[in-house]
A and B are shown apart, each in its own frame.
Chain A
Amino acid sequence: MNPFRLVETLRASRWGVLLDLVFYTVLLVLIAASLGNKNIGSNESAINFEYRVF
């Protein structure tokens, strides 16, 4: 089965909430673990360069 379709089917089922909960919790844990990364907002970060032109 197509993996994308499988995910969509699961998300539409009663397991969807649980799937979302696990997915977004994993993302949040990874975000929290990365907050010390010095490249966030550093001069080398491309967005900061873009930010200056805004």
Chain B
Amino acid sequence: MDLLEPIVAVAILGLIYSTIGALWRLRGELAMLFTLGASLAAIVAFHYIEPRLLGFIVALFIAFAWLSRGARQGAGASLLFALYLLIWFIYKYPNDLAAFVPALHPVSARLTDIIKPFGFLGVSYVGFKLIHFYVDRRDGKHADATVLSVVAWLLFVPSLVGGPIHRYQEWRRDWPLASDVENNIAEGTKRIIVGLFKVTVVGASISGLSIAGLTDYQLSSVGIGTLALGIVAYTVSLYFNFAGYTDIAIGIGRYWNQSLPENFNFPFFRRNLQEFWKNWHMSLIDFLREYVFTRIVYSLSGKDFFSPKSLMPASIGLLATFLTAAVWHKFNVGYLLWGLTNAGGLIFLLFLQRTKAISRSKFMKWWTTSPIGYVVSVLLTFVFVNATCLFIALSDMRLAILFNRLRS
């Protein structure tokens, strides 16, 4: 319940905010200031960020936004951006790295002690927003962004902790506050109820069967059927929990008159891995596509050592994208295997699609249009996704126990 209570509380605050905003007919910068104030109040009240740290973060963001104004971003903005990345990485990775290299343990412990006061829940999602804004500004976008608007967007509380990754242009698009407060409250409330249902009723019921809940002894003794059920339960409960929290965040966003981006669109009903990834954690995948995949493919495509039809640039791009996604989650063997298998699956699919003898064959034409082809494709994709989820459902140590058991 530790995550649910503050979320419900932020929803109530959003309702109050929405009502007061409508009553006072707030517009423009005043409405933005009110939004920032309400976000800060929620962050302090629910201990998302410790007050002293919040002061530091707000000062850092104000300075960053100030140095990002105008036609060209100042050099100081790059320094502050690098400082945030440093805090983010030192907060997240020393322990993971020390698990790989035990000699690093004393260093990681010392670093963790120093950086711990600077870490907060949501450090990653705010980091994604910061990368998006910083890179876009380097590309000449958002030149009209004001300091107040950027800071209010970075600390916008409904999507602070777990996303969805909310782009600056989406934030600006929804300003000023709409007059249709009644509709926002009605639609937001419906979305929150659906989200709560997914989390508390469906997700919580299924997660009781998850492989993550098995003890080490059970992992090495229960039947294969139980293990398979456990993996499916893990994947499906992950979907319902995460999709539920996204629904709640989007619903609360409506109270604040923001249309947060969608994260899931029936991912388990997709006929291949490519379609699955276009419909699972969409805001993260869109982010990675734009800032990792496209940039790598673009920079490699013009090189002489790749023929124009070569699959290499896209393959390298996919590998880099999924390894980035893996390392963002956690730096361990399980996540690296998860990234490699997903990238491998997508590269294989790309190869099939680019090989005309296969993609234009009569069988493929029948397969892509027939209901049988659809059902079997969906099942095969689901099995593949579950197989890759096995790598992330268990810690490296427990994964080793399971593989030893399956090998013997």
Return chain A residues, CB-CB under 8 Å to B241.
Answer: 45-47, 50
- Out of B92, B121, B200, B245, name the residue touching A37 (CB < 8 Å): B200
From residue 288 to 320 of chain B, which have CB atoms closer than 8 A to chain A? none
A47 B3 Cβ-Cβ under 8 A? yes
B124 A54 Cβ-Cβ under 8 A? yes
B190 A20 Cβ-Cβ under 8 A? yes
Q: Is B113 part of the binding interface, using a Cβ–Cβ cutoff of 8 Å?
A: no
Q: Is B213 part of the binding interface, using a Cβ–Cβ cutoff of 8 Å?
A: yes
B3 A28 Cβ-Cβ under 8 A? no
Return chain B residues, CB-CB under 8 Å to A48.
Answer: 3
A53 B122 Cβ-Cβ under 8 A? no
How many whole Å from A23's CB to the nearest CB in chain B? Answer: 9
Return chain B residues, CB-CB under 8 Å to A46.
Answer: 203, 207, 210, 212, 234, 237-238, 241-242
Q: Is B36 part of the binding interface, using a Cβ–Cβ cutoff of 8 Å?
A: no
B199 A40 Cβ-Cβ under 8 A? yes
A54 B207 Cβ-Cβ under 8 A? no
B242 A39 Cβ-Cβ under 8 A? no
A41 B201 Cβ-Cβ under 8 A? no
Q: How far is the CA of A47 from the CA of B162 in the complex (A)?
A: 10
Q: Is B62 part of the binding interface, using a Cβ–Cβ cutoff of 8 Å?
A: no
A47 B199 Cβ-Cβ under 8 A? yes
Q: Is A4 part of the binding interface, using a Cβ–Cβ cutoff of 8 Å?
A: no
B197 A27 Cβ-Cβ under 8 A? yes
Q: How far is the CA of A37 from the CA of B6 in the complex (A)?
A: 18
**Interface range, A side:** 20 to 34
Main secondary structure of the interface of A (DSSP, over half): helix
* A-B residue pair count with CB separations less than 8 angstroms: 88
How many whole Å from B307's CB to the nearest CB in chain A? Answer: 39
From residue 18 to 43 of chain A, which have CB atoms closer than 8 A to chain B? 20, 24, 27-28, 30-31, 34-35, 37, 39-42
Q: How far is the CA of A47 from the CA of B190 in the complex (A)?
A: 21
Q: Is B264 part of the binding interface, using a Cβ–Cβ cutoff of 8 Å?
A: no
Q: Is B273 part of the binding interface, using a Cβ–Cβ cutoff of 8 Å?
A: no
CB contact under 8 A between A41 and B190, given known A47-B203, A50-B162, A54-B125: no
Return chain B residues, CB-CB under 8 Å to A34.
Answer: 200-201, 204-205
From residue 114 to 170 of chain B, which have CB atoms closer than 8 A to chain A? 121-125, 161-163
Return chain A residues, CB-CB under 8 Å to B207.
Answer: 39, 42, 44-46
Most buried by B among A24, A47, A49: A47
CB contact under 8 A between A53 and B330, given known A30-B197, A39-B207: yes
B204 A54 Cβ-Cβ under 8 A? no
Q: How far is the CA of A1 from the CA of B210 in the complex (A)?
A: 38
Q: Is B390 part of the binding interface, using a Cβ–Cβ cutoff of 8 Å?
A: no
Closest-by-CB residue of B relative to A47 is B241
How many whole Å from A29's CB to the nearest CB in chain B? Answer: 10
What are 26 residue pairs bridging A and B, where the CB atoms are less than 8 Å apart in the complex? A27-B197, A28-B193, A34-B205, A37-B200, A37-B204, A39-B205, A39-B207, A40-B200, A41-B1, A45-B203, A45-B204, A46-B210, A47-B241, A47-B242, A48-B3, A49-B212, A50-B162, A50-B238, A51-B3, A51-B121, A51-B162, A53-B328, A53-B329, A54-B121, A54-B122, A54-B125
Apart from A39-B207, A44-B213, A46-B237, what 18 extra A-B contacts exist at CB < 8 Å? A27-B193, A27-B201, A31-B197, A37-B200, A37-B204, A40-B1, A40-B4, A44-B208, A46-B234, A46-B242, A47-B199, A47-B241, A51-B121, A51-B161, A53-B329, A54-B124, A54-B125, A54-B161
Q: Which residues of B contact A (CB under 8 A)?
A: 1-4, 92, 121-125, 161-163, 190, 193-194, 196-197, 199-201, 203-205, 207-208, 210, 212-213, 234, 237-238, 241-242, 244-245, 328-330
| Nearest 8 Cβ contacts at the A-B interface | A47-B241, A46-B238, A44-B213, A39-B204, A37-B204, A34-B200, A40-B204, A27-B197
